[in-house]
Amino acid sequence: MPAQRPRPSAADGASDPGTSNDKVSALETFRSHPEDGVLTTDQGVPIPHTDDSLKAGERGPSLLEDFHLREKITRFDHERIPERVVHARGSGAHGFFQVYRPLTELTRAAFLQDPAARTPVFVRFSTVQGSRGSFDLARDVRGFATKFYTTEGNFDLVGNNMPVFFIQDGIKFPDVVHAVKPEPDSEMPQAASAHDTFWDFIGLVPETAHHMMWLMSDRGIPRSFATMEGFGIHTFRFVNAEGQWRFVKFHWKPLAGIHSVVWDEAQKINGMDPDYHRRGLWESIEAGSYPEYELGIQVFDEAQADAFPFDILDATKIVPEELVPVERVGRLTLNRNPDNFFAETEQVAFHVGNLVPGIDVTNDPLMQARLFSYLDTQLTRLGGPNFHEIPINRPIAPVHNHQQDGFHRDTINTGKANYFPNSIGGGCPVLAPGDQGYVHVPEMLQGPKTRERAPSFKDFFSQASLFFHSLSLVEQQHLVSALRFELGKVQRATVRERVVNEILANIDIELARAVGPAVGVPNVERRPARDAGPPVDQGLAASAALSQLSNPGQTVAGRQVAVLCADGVDAAAVEQLTAELAAAGVNAEVVSTFLGPVQGAGGGALEATKMFSTVGSVLFDAVYVPGGATSIAALRDGAAAVQFVKEAHAHYKPIAASGEGAELVRAAIGMAAQAEPASAGGDPLAGVVLAETDTATLGQDFLAAIARHRFWERDQTQQMGSSVRP
């Protein structure tokens, strides 16, 4: 990203607004930085004054002839466009993709052939339910949409952070969205699924069971965009140069691992920093800690697909990695923030049908509907059919066709022939040779017109059960707690009872028993679900890839550490540790009772960039308390630091301390200096790195703890015990 040139300061000759030097300063600024230009209308007319409208006398009425006023107000009145029906709240970044090896044997797609080539990309992350003004840490699905600007045209991989969808057929999409959105009579709740209409739909449409389990799991509240997976959801086709094809599923694997916040953190973060995910993405890129993901593919042929115990055209099913391993074939790096949020992140238009030669669709009925829906939506949201000419949507490949006119046409086509075939224009543009153009996979299609669902789509619960049984005990407990919270918000007892007995009990009877009594359903029993077929053996009891604890990641880059200190701190120890953290890409910020210099015990100073009154432990991944007797005394007297550490410990985060800082940490977590490290209730010192005298390995040990992310063994209740297995 190009460096941002600072705006002129008083030292550059600029003065404060309202002084007599305004015009001179503006002229000097223009002469010093002519690329900034002068203020003009949309037609380029220079404007010397924009603070007052044109009036008949200084207290008279405004005049209609004031074209600058009319243009300025008109543009303001119309600067908002319809927000997306879903995925309205988003955050984007530019980057590039490089393939590791030529995939010639699988696909002819050009961007998957040359390991030396960098394909530009734009990625938009988003929440699904909420409006643009909602908060980041809602329990929700996250969009993960990637636009590849390839030499053969744009390819859009429009996915989510969950590999399955709520529904099997796109005709149900309006229903599930209406159900999860705020209820129409009250327009509440915003960005939340914990309400009657959503769970009424879940109980009546059991095909939603698998996706519902993903949503209620920790995947619904990711730690950051950099620590969540992405999935193409649908089964696509790879087609090679010889026309041979195989099925493919797309994955994004984050190098930082798969991590989430806990529910208590999510609620506090939403109040403390509603832009937590947005800010994290932006600041990581600005700091050079670029989020990175590997593109993974699962490739299989028709014979394999026919042998699977599920239908590959069913978007509510995964292909377990134990059946088809994921090959990591390339890397995505996000290294540049948008220059303008509206022009890029808001106006970017993704479409499942933006395909390139070598990648084709399948007969997935959800995918087929999305092929229509995405294009149709953009026509309304972006004002007409020419949204592909908006800079963020323009392909880098040349565009030649006979499409013309319509709202917001930017391309100026020349010549007389705007049709095909033609002789007046020399027959141009000509058709692409068969070995270069896009050709759909030829296949025989036969069958009666019917509104039916294949029997292979009727198994609603087997993979939902597989997902639950693949989770660690702590993840299972979090899922139970989420269901208790969500269903506890549902007012209608009949809806709660149906979800427990017809959905949860068919997934796992012990899961239903753990949730039911807590939400007013004491009599738990497994009952047949609407339209459900018999369960099908999936061929494995659990899949390790489905547990976040199995995916800690390869890097800690981008993690945030709070350094708690006051005047009298051991500044040298802080500088030593933060240097080690920075070398690993971890950002450390000094938190104190005030902003500005914090004086060191032996001289020198640290710069406090955050203070206890504006941040909390929930905004950080780990905490460090350095020594310094005066600093620790001040922190203990103020109590905010003790609460900061106590909360971080309660959220199972890594904590480090050196020198006298160990005293504060022990006090915060209720540990006597000589206490045993483990007890019947768990190990409260798990993930707590104390270097009271020897700090030689503090940085190494702390980084190892940060890589773990959480230390659930601190509390025995986080191991499920009888809460799900009574």
What is the per-residue DSSP string for 263-307? HHHHHHHHHH-TTHHHHHHHHHHHTT---EEEEEEEEE-HHHHHH
The pLDDT value given to residue 682: 86
Tokens of 433: 């040779």
pLDDT of residue 679: 47
Give exposure, 426-440, as e/b (b: 16+ Cβ within 10 Å): eeeeeeeeeeeeeee
End residue of a domain, out of 387, 412, 429: 387
**Residues spanned by the domain of 233:** 90-387
- The predicted structure's pLDDT at residue 678: 45
Residue 69 falls within a domain, yes or no? no
Whether residue 418 lies in the annotated active site: no
Q: Please report whether residue 64 resides in a domain.
A: no
Rounded to whole angstroms, the Cα distance separating 210 from 492 reads: 23
* Rounded Cα distance, 308 and 313, in Å: 12
Percentages helix, strand, coil for the chain, rounded to the nearest 5?
A: 35, 15, 50
Between CA 526 and CA 503 the distance in angstroms is 8
In a domain, 650, yes or no: yes
| CATH code: domain of residue 377 | 2.40.180.10
| Residues 201 and 175: beta-carbon distance below 8 Å | yes
- What is the rounded distance in angstroms from the CA atom of residue 604 to the CA atom of residue 476? 49
The residues of the chain scoring below 70 in pLDDT are 1-36, 672-681, 717-726
Residue 253 sits at the vertex; the CA angle it makes with 251 and 158, to the nearest 5 degrees, is: 40
The letter for the amino acid at 417 is A
Instruction: Check residue 227 and report its DSSP letter.
Output: G
Torsions phi, psi of 369, nearest 5?
Answer: -70, -40
Phi, psi of 346 (to 5 degrees): -80, -35
Q: Is 160 a catalytic residue?
A: yes
Helical residues (DSSP H) of 355-492, grouped into ranges: 365-381, 462-470, 473-488
How many CB atoms sit inside 10 A of residue 409's CB?
14
Please give the Cα distance from 205 to 176 (Å, whole number). 9
Which two tokens mark 485? 């919270």
**3-state DSSP of 567-598:** CCECHHHHHHHHHHHHHCCCEEEEEECCCEEE
DSSP string of 313-378?
A: T-TT----TTTSPPEEEEEEEEEE--S-IIIIIIT----TT---TTEE----HHHHHHHHHHHHHH
Q: Which of 512, 460, 540 is nearest to 165 (CA)?
A: 460
The residues, any chain, with a CB within 8 Å of residue 152's CB and separated by 6 or more, are 109, 110, 111, 356, 357, 397
Structure tokens at 492: 């209608």
Q: Does a structural domain hold residue 370?
A: yes
> Which CATH number belongs to the domain containing residue 656 in this structure?
3.40.50.880
For residues 13 and 21, what is the distance between their CA atoms, to the nearest angstrom? 9
Closest CA to 254 of 288, 280, 279, 231: 231
Is residue 550 a part of any domain in this protein?
no
In a domain, 41, yes or no: no
The one catalytic residue among 87, 195, 251, 351: 87
Domain count, the chain: 2
Structure tokens at 383: 């004002």
Distance separating alpha carbons of residues 492 and 195, to the nearest angstrom: 10
Strands (E), 545-662: 560-564, 587-592, 596-599, 605-611, 622-625, 655-658
Pairing between β-strand 655-658 and β-strand 622-625 as defined by DSSP bridges: parallel
For helices 173-180 and 365-381, the axis angle rounded to 10 degrees is 70
Amino acid 710 reads R
**Catalytic: which of 160, 386, 501, 587?**
160
Q: Crossing angle, helix 640-650 and helix 629-638, to 10 degrees? A: 80
- What residues contact residue 11 under an 8 Å CB cut-off, 6+ apart? none
Q: How far is CA 613 from CA 448, 644, 726, in A?
A: 67, 11, 43
Phi/psi for 672 (5° steps) reads -70, 155
> How many Cβ atoms are within 10 Å of 34's Cβ, its own excluded?
9
C-alpha Rg value of the chain to the nearest Å: 29
Among candidate residues 367, 387, 407, the one where a domain is terminated = 387
pTM: 0.91
Phi and psi dihedrals of 350, rounded to 5? -100, 150
Tell me, yes or no, whether 201 lies in a domain: yes
End-of-domain residue from the set 353, 387, 421: 387
Tokens 């699924």: give the residue: 193
**What pLDDT shows up at residue 28?**
59
- Chain center to CA of 192: 17
Count other Cβ atoms within 10 Å, centred on residue 392: 20
Asked if the structure places residue 658 within a domain, the reply is yes
Q: What is residue 361's predicted lDDT score, i.e. its pLDDT?
A: 95
